[in-house]
Amino acid sequence: QRLLTNAHVVADAHLIHVRRSDGHRKFVASVVCLCFESDLALLAVGDEAFWHGLEPVQFYQGLPRLQSEVCVVGFPDAPSGGETVCVTQGVVSRIDLHSYSWDSSLLVVQIDAAINAGNSGGPCVDQESGLVVGVAFQKSVSSGADNVGYIIPVPVVQHFLECYTTGVWGFGVPGFDWQLLDNPSLRDLVGLPADMTGVLVSTVEVTSPARHLLHPVEDIVLSVDGQEVGEDGTLLLTQPTADGSRPRSLRLKLEWAFRRLPPGTEIRLEVMRQGERREVMLPVSRPSPLVPSDPLDGERLGTRPEYLLVGGLVFVPLTEPYLTEEYGEGWDSCPARLRNIAQHGRMKHAGQQVVLLSDVLACNFTQGYEVYRRLPVERCNGQEVKNLSHLASLVASSETDAFLRFDLAENCVIALKREGISEATAAVMRNNQITDTSHILRRDTAGPE
């Protein structure tokens, strides 16, 4: 028996208490697993008294119908209505792909039932069948938007639960980007006949299996698993119904055909290149963003963030949580350079990280370098830095050099005399109660180095 909630509700919590809506006693819960990609988490409650008399929820099969009536159950905070359980009603307004984080876009159901802080993780129930159609997790805060809430639909929830059961984590991605072919001149240029539709492969991720199977600006994807790709980049997908009636069809963005599959699953593409059609079996890959939103993979890599301490210099990989911690939820004061890397940067090789000089701790050895905080590190002693682990190895391997040189962005240079680094590092560790000079993850074995 497990409790299902949002990952953002329990992330970073040291102590979790849960209480039944019909009781007054608090019970201690623990996190079983987290998935920030889908913003879902499972909790365990060890005390059997909590579970006594409770029945597990039943999920709606597939997606709810548009305009079907639903209700959201939760505990909005006091400014939104008090401390007792709250039920709001509305209808299903839209089904589409929507952003879960900077690097994750998955299927959502939009509803007009009120969702406020405290509703997150609560069930959304179909009023006709009494079945759960999703988990509340977001609301629109845009000016002019009233009662626009989002729930995580059952297909995404079931995928998350399958990840927990199988241990194969993640939602697949195609590994390539595409361009629409709705312009007649462009269609003629690439040789797409007037009676056919598809999308043009524009770029291929270097870390994806697609790099061996697809050619950018040459290949046109005509269909995916037998479903034709529309000129608007959508697919007609069939959805089962809860009552067993005739399945419904829904046009969704092409991306969902890949996102709904576990990484490693093969998907069949019909591709045309220079007028010749062929079939490609493409393994969907796992997302590998240059600036990840979940650098610890739902805490499966531990709970300690990565860092490297050299003298008073603190180096960390650039991640979405780091930017949020430094610049707030909206990254309002984030430098344009870092924002551009986070939103548009792409890996050039597997395992690549953007390494930042995160901080310069008080130390005579590093005085004057405080102004270079938050600049990316490009080279160390003349060698390009691939990731934090690589930087640590470059620092360790240069012990015979008189100086340790770091070349940062904006042509800034930091130099440290080798003979003083060990003593300065030890002093900084004592003054700041730091126990280790580094914590670096080896992602091939999912453990600390």
Residues forming the active site: 8, 39, 120
Taking the C-alpha atoms of residue 341 and residue 348, their distance in angstroms, rounded to an integer, is 13
Q: What are the tokens at 398?
A: 């240069």
Which segments of 28-183 does DSSP mark as H helices, in order? 48-51, 154-166
How does 186-214 read in b/e, with b if 16+ C-beta sit within 10 Å?
A: ebeebebeeebbbbbbeebbebbbbeebb
H/E segment holding residue 198: none
Taking the C-alpha atoms of residue 269 and residue 256, their distance in angstroms, rounded to an integer, is 14
Taking the C-alpha atoms of residue 157 and residue 41, their distance in angstroms, rounded to an integer, is 10
**Sign of the dihedral through C-alpha 180, 184, 188, 191:** positive
Which segments of 121-276 does DSSP mark as H helices, in order? 154-166, 184-190, 255-259
Taking the C-alpha atoms of residue 435 and residue 89, their distance in angstroms, rounded to an integer, is 52
At 169, the amino acid letter reads W
Taking the C-alpha atoms of residue 301 and residue 310, their distance in angstroms, rounded to an integer, is 23
Beta carbons of 319 and 345 less than 8 angstroms apart = no
Instruction: Indicate the Cα dihedral angle 224, 226, 232, 233, nearest 10°.
Output: -10
Closest CA to 339 of 351, 324, 349: 324
Query: Rounded to a whole number, what is the largest CA-CA distance in the chain?
Result: 77
**Sign of the dihedral through C-alpha 66, 68, 73, 76:** positive
**Rounded to 5 degrees, what angle do the CA atoms 263, 449, 358 make?**
90
At 223, the amino acid letter reads S
Taking the C-alpha atoms of residue 135 and residue 123, their distance in angstroms, rounded to an integer, is 5
